[in-house]
Structure 1
Amino acid sequence: MRYVSATQLARLLTIEPAARPYYRALADGVRTLVMDGRLPVRIRLPAERHLAETLKVSRTTVTAAYDLLRRRGYLQSRQGSGSWTALPDPATTADNPWLGTDQDGLIQLQAAAPPAPTALREAMEQALEDLPRYGMGIGYDPMGLPMLRERIASAYTARGLATRAEQIVVTTGSQHAIQLLTGLLVGRGDAVIVESPTYPHAIDAARRAGARMVPVGISHEGWQEDLLVCAMRQSASRLAYLMPDFQNPTGALMDDATRAAVVAAARRVDTLLLVDETWSELALDEVPRTAPMGSFDTDSRVISIGSASKLWWGGLRIGWIRATAALARRLALFRAAVDIASPVMEQLAVARLFDRLEETRAERRRTLRASRDALVSGLREHLPEWTFAVPRGGGTLWVRLGERDGATPLAEAAACHGVRLVPGPWFGVEGTLEGYLRLPYTQPPQVLQDALVRIRAARDHGPAGASRPPEPLIAMV
């Protein structure tokens, strides 16, 4: 195994002399070197005693820094073999930005999750009225309630993709849908195409299935068709996970010509397309009308997933899969080992919300547009050196930081100033995208304005002078 000496590591580290506590600054310095690629993964670090002597600090300080790196997943150790650098499993690390709740006192910018619309209360009341006639049964329907599946199928048909209720499987959110599909369709060692950047939990699901990740870079300008097609052909990919509608986090919208070309290429190389349409209903400006990718499908290789979380509310935990009727039945059988079925009350509520689709879409467009505009103007005022494109829909800005800024240390400092952020590397494969930050505009304008003032302070002054928040304990997706 390669190793780095204490002298070499000390030369790479940049730690302010006044940084306190020093062990945390040391751990942050090593983590930044790993995330920037200046310190390779699986390179052995110097012994604690040697590094302490070189840095002229106590061995206890270095031990505490190594312990913190181990807890965060950036260091692995074995008795007799020393310690070496690593990349964390995003689902389990202690500094996972999705851990924690609004009770920890931080402004929550780690999740692009809007609050519930005004229609939710009435929809829940109607669902409660509907519930007694469902209470006569056992309450488990692995496919989902027929009432809801019919509403979802009708929505696809209205968008130009003829769909029957038996092609729909209701899931416990879109993340559950991704987990089911990767678990059923992806084998260990299979190549899976992912956009870079992309939705982090899709990466998690593919990794758990043992997939070989094949990232394809995109930007706010969208997809390079030839790069995507070449990646599918050269990797012989089993599946490609794509988000063509206001992609998370870039906000890009794929045009119909690219959709048709990608589906045609997938047909030639025998790749399944998992198309995430979670943001498809949330155009904020006038945009060219696009067809669902499934409308270009002629051999049943496009599988679509959707969710109630962005248009309505994440607390409902309802998503869905559109596939062939045969695959839908296989998925219903496969999920029996996971959760059997989704909650009846929430399914009834979402069915009622589909009846008010236009109303809630207009409300979301109004509130998200106001928040997006506030975030854009605030960034230009407080952080003018950061660059971004204004998306025409969705719920996030993908921001390129200044040359001297790093997303990971900024997120650490921002937490000390009362804002929880998600750094760019969480949206990539193998620690890339350190120069980017995702900023959702799903919070009210005044909250975003306050957050930007705090982020500017964190960028300018670091964590010094601010109290560190408690370690988060409760998972939030």
Structure 2
Amino acid sequence: MTSQVRGVQLARLLGQWHSLPGRRRSPDYAALAGAVRGLLADGRLPLGVRLPAERELAEALKISRTTVTAAYRQLRESGHLASRRGAGSWTMLPGTHRVTSSGLWTPQDDVDMIDLGVAALAAPAELVPAARAATEDLPRYLAGAGYHPTGIVELREAVARGYTDRGLPTSPDQIMVTSGTQHALDLVLRLAVSPGAGVLVESPTYPNALAALAARRARIATHGLASDGAGWDADLLLGSIRQGRPKLAYLIPEFQNPTGHLMAADLRERVVAAAHAAGTDLVVDESFVDLPLDGTPLPPPVATFDRHSRVISIGGMSKPYWGGLRIGWVRASAPQVQRLAAARVGVDMASPVLDQLVAVHLLAEAPAIVAERRAQLTVQRDALLGALTERLPDWRVTVPRGGVTLWAELDGPISSALARAAEEVGVRLAPGPRFGLDGTLERFLRLPFTLPAAELVDAVGRIAAVRYDLDRAARPQWREPAVIA
């Protein structure tokens, strides 16, 4: 599934590479090589893609071919480029270094720990009354066996109404209830992805999605997202689908996790068309669709543009309601839902009936609950932004228009080191490389604003203290591990 970056595409990614820090002290070829390494380190330029020919890139950048040749040579020497005569040059990392995220975060029950590793809200006040009402409804189901592989009809009807209200007519037969959004993704992958199949994902992306893909032994390719508000590069994304022809593409178009980007309507339509032409199925994760902030209008659902059953939408209750309520769903064609239900029987049979009844009652009060959540998140987001501006002014953050996370660009490639240091002062962080595939993204950090404002401000203060200590700390002395035979 190797793809190629054209000269004009790479030139656009490089931007004002002449004005990068240290440029005046470096010759043109060194500055160009450094800019390419920066794109690789940030995850904006994926590994394993073929770079444009030297002449093509020189024409796109309006520089001499000699400069590009020297830059490519330096990239090969530093281990960032592999070339084969007559075949081209491919991006890589030194020593073919690849780091795979486990996707597993286990919060500890430590009252003194401010946990910024998990982007989830505490339960709403309406949860307990909904649970009481659900127990009163439960006797209606007790006469049966309790197995509903596609979900109880009341919940499927409620979820279908939600899609219809968003402008996407949906019947209950197109909905399958799952035990959370992650479970929905896992079932879809079981049905759609065989070992070795090509899958395209965004970079950065949700770590647990990467873990699910790794479990299916998929061949993962990435499309790099811009760290500013631009988000998806339409030309590169569509090119990755057309050239790579992946079996499946996993996208988070609404307030992408972790960047917070919102995909425009025209790109949604073009992605669906490209996927159909390439024979690619699209899995669209809508976990944050209920959480636009600042009155941000939402584009139509991606499935609105689907005419060939290429789009499978997944969502759930975790982000707008509560992570402890393990209710998710899949929206697809009715035949696809039946195939997913058949595959599910070998996994967990069905979701708990009582939990589904709780979800029915919460969805009945969705307008009030979600409105309160949005107001709460807006206050907490602004508190976090204010604290970052005051205590860490060198960090760059694009204000998200929804969702629950900030994607901060740090003042150096220190994300993992900062996370280790922050743990010592009672703050748990999710460093940038956890959201990528290849050990890149060390200049980035995901910061959720799901905790109370006072805790977020306190956390930033602790992070700022250890950030400045990193510059003064002595370099650690690594020892050879003891050999036990």
- TM bucket, shorter chain: 0.7 to 0.9
1:289 Cα deviation after fit? 3.4
Contact 1:412–1:463, Cα closer than 8 Å, also in 2: no
Residue 99 of structure 2 contacts residue 439 of structure 2 at CA under 8 Å; is this kept in 1? Answer: no
Whole-angstrom CA distance in 2 between matches of 1:394 and 1:437: 16
Q: How far apart, in 2, do the equivalents of 1:116 and 1:221 lie?
A: 33
Structure 2 CA distance for aligned equivalents of residues 170 and 326 of structure 1: 15
TM-score (norm 2): 0.76
Alignment deviations for residues 149-191 of structure 1 (CA, whole Å, 9 cap, x no partner): 0100011011111111011111111011111111110111211
| 2:197 aligns with one of 190, 193, 196 | 190
Q: Aligned partners of 1:302 and 1:167: how far apart in 2?
A: 12
Give the superposition deviation at 1:332. Answer: 0.9
8 Å CA contact 1:422, 1:437 repeated in 2: yes
* Aligned residue number for residue 343 of structure 2: 334
Contact 1:102–1:108 at 8 Å: present in 2 too? no
1:418 & 1:462 partners in 2: Cα distance?
16
Structure 1 position 103, deviation (Å): 3.0
Select the residue among 307, 317, 330 that pairs with 1:321: 330
After superposition, where does 1:75-154 map in structure 2 within 5 Å? 89-91=100-102, 98-103=105-110, 105-154=112-161
Give the 3 Å change call, closer, same or farther, for CA 427–121 of structure 1 in structure 2: same
Q: Does 1:377 align with 2:386?
A: yes
Q: Does the residue aligned with 2:397 lie in a helix, a strand or coil?
A: coil
Deviation at 1:226, TM superposition (A): 1.1
Task: Give the counterpart letter for 2:258 in structure 1.
Answer: P
Q: 1:35-434 counterparts in 2 under 5 A?
A: 89-91=100-102, 98-103=105-110, 105-219=112-226, 220-403=229-412, 405-434=413-442
List per-residue Cα deviations over 1:441-468 (Å, max 9, x = no partner). Answer: 0001001011111111221225999xxx
Aligned equivalents of 2:215, 2:415: Cα separation in 1:
26
Offset of 1:221 from its aligned partner? 1.8
Aligned residue identity for 1:335: R
The code of the aligned residue for 1:90 comes to S
Counterpart for residue 34 of structure 2: none
SS at match of 1:315: coil
* Normalised TM-score (structure 1): 0.77
Q: Distance in 2 between matches of 1:448 and 1:173?
A: 27
Note closer, same or farther for the CA distance 1:104–1:185 as it changes in structure 2 (3 Å cut).
farther
> Among residues 425, 441, 445, which one is paired with 2:449 in the alignment?
441
Match of 1:454 in 2: 462
Distance in 2, Cα, partners of 1:313 & 1:184: 28
2:117–2:430 contact (8 Å) kept in structure 1: yes
Unmatched 5+ residue regions in structure 2?
Answer: 1-40, 44-94, 474-485
Whether the aligned pair in 2 keeps the contact of 1:417 and 1:463 (CA below 8 Å) is no
**Contact persistence 2:97–2:439 (CA under 8 A):** no
Deviation at 1:100, TM superposition (A): 2.8
- Comparing 117-126 with 151-160, greater Cα deviation is found at 117-126
- What CA deviation, in whole Å up to 9, does each residue of 1:270-291 have, x standing for no partner? 1100000000010111223310
SS of the residue aligned with 1:102?
coil
Distance 1:396 1:416 in 2: 23
Report % sequence identity: 48
Q: How many residues align?
A: 381
Deviation at 1:120, TM superposition (A): 1.1
Query: What whole-Å deviation, never above 9, does each CA across 1:400-425 have from its counterpart, x for those lacking one?
Result: 0003x510010011101101100001
Quote the offset at 1:88 in angstroms: 5.4
Q: Secondary structure at the match of 1:275?
A: strand
Q: Distance in 2 between matches of 1:398 and 1:332?
A: 36
Report how far residue 357 of structure 1 moved.
1.1
Q: Distance in 1 between matches of 2:260 and 2:253?
A: 9
CA distance in 1 between partners of 2:163 and 2:305 (Å): 14
